[in-house]
Amino acid sequence: MDNKNVKVLLLECFARQTMVMMEFLHKDGYHLTTYNSRKTDLGYLSHYPDKKILAPWNRESEEESAAELLKVLQADHYDVTIPLTDFSATLLARRKDEFSKYTHVAANDWPVFMMAGDKLNTMTACMDNGIPCPKTLRRASSVEEVLASGLSYPFIIKPRVGYGSIGFHKIECEEDLRKHFDANVEKFGPQVVQEYIPQTDIQYKCEVFLDRDGEVKSAHVFDKTRWYPIDGGSTCCSTSVDRPDIVESSVKLLKAIGWRGYGDVDLIQDPRDHLAKVMEINPRITASVKVCFYSGVDFARQIVENETGQEVTPFMDYKKGVCLRYMHTDLLWFFESPNRFKAKPSWFSWRHTTDQIWNPRDPLPWFGYTIQGFMKYKTEQKKRQR
């Protein structure tokens, strides 16, 4: 098959993962179209797309965004449509039957999607299959129910469905619980309540690709060397590592819920027993996926091959020690962390390192992204207030 005849549509091209997905879809020779809502979006400023769409997209209304996407799919043919964020992945999974009339949707069926998208479902799958995870309450619908469980302090509460550190609270006492629990439920919906794992060790991500038959075609592990906010947030520095135990847990979990395609599993190593424990599954392409590509795993090719019924190219080996930084928040980490001069790898080192956004072969998107970052910074920080 001539890849140039395969038309790929990327959604929500303001997201960081847009950069590497565009780069490798272009490199693999696919006809690439990006869906953008602003002229400062990465996918609009980049020179990689063959076509750029500028159209409405309302992240506050799934219904409105679905209607706009449907117009795009009816106006032109796209072989594969790939979501890049939780919002667009949820939109496609929930309406997969409708959109599949026009394109191959790179999202799992809704029941499987919600096994991953709902953090309590993920923890239940871990507990039922003997996969290391934090102690988690299977039921936590009220403050009184949490108190009656006997779960030891400190523990955490966070939304069952969400991203990053939004809605995350460390609970030290009953007063904390009463202060935050009902407010979180009102704002974000049902909560996950689980033991707090001291964040003095390393966090990890495992990116797995399972083809249509459930066969593993790639499994890449990288650590979350630094994250921001520093008390629990998103990755700002990561390095590819060799952890067969993490691959085993992640593959077992994704197979247990019937997952297909690209899957991202978050884990944290517990300093008390040195086990890497599953925290959640992100049912979309992670923002830090560039470290996988630059280590030798082409998830973009695998996604398109899988959705178009081709044999999926395996990428079972990858380079270790490749480092990825997100300088927009790694800089904030440096200002706030007491370990700024003790970090390993050194904050000042760029050996075997690339940045999530910056690409010297495609520099313009970095400037647009930085402008958007300044505009959104206060709003995003407010969402993450403890």
Q: Which domains can be identified in the chain, with CATH numbers?
A: 3-107 (3.40.50.20), 135-195 (3.30.1490.20), 203-356 (3.30.470.20)
Cα dihedral: 349, 355, 361, 363 (round 10): -110
* Helix, coil or strand: residue 48: coil
- Over residues 219-247, the mean pLDDT reads 90
Give pLDDT tens digits for 44-79.
Answer: 999 999 999 999 999 999 999 999 999 999 999 999
In this prediction, residue 1 carries a pLDDT of 64
Residue count of the chain, please give it. 386
In this prediction, residue 64 carries a pLDDT of 98
Q: Is the Cβ–Cβ distance between 11 and 81 less than 8 Å? A: yes
- Over residues 303-318, the mean pLDDT reads 97
In this prediction, residue 379 carries a pLDDT of 58
In this prediction, residue 20 carries a pLDDT of 98
- Over residues 301-324, the mean pLDDT reads 97
Q: Is the Cβ–Cβ distance between 225 and 343 less than 8 Å? A: yes
The partner residues of 228 in beta bridges, in order of sequence, read 234
Whole-Å CA distances, 242 to 225, 290, 320: 14, 17, 7
In this prediction, residue 371 carries a pLDDT of 84
- pLDDT bucket at 308, cuts 50 / 70 / 90: very high
Does residue 87 surpass a pLDDT of 70?
A: yes
- pLDDT bucket at 382, cuts 50 / 70 / 90: low
Q: Is the Cβ–Cβ distance between 304 and 2 less than 8 Å? A: no
The overall average pLDDT reported for the chain is 93
The partner residues of 221 in beta bridges, in order of sequence, read 206, 241
Question: At 303, which amino acid appears?
Answer: I
Rounded distance, CA 84 to CA 88, Å? 7
Question: At 187, which amino acid appears?
Answer: K
Question: At 167, which amino acid appears?
Answer: G
Specify the pTM. Answer: 0.91
Q: Is the Cβ–Cβ distance between 204 and 267 less than 8 Å? A: yes
Give pLDDT tens digits for 259-289.
Answer: 999 999 999 999 999 999 999 999 899 999 9
124-133, 203-212, 286-295, 335-344: range with lowest mean pLDDT: 335-344
Does residue 224 surpass a pLDDT of 80?
A: yes
Does residue 385 surpass a pLDDT of 60?
A: no
- pLDDT bucket at 372, cuts 50 / 70 / 90: confident
In this prediction, residue 362 carries a pLDDT of 97
Question: Residue 83, Cα to own-chain centre: how many angstroms?
Answer: 11
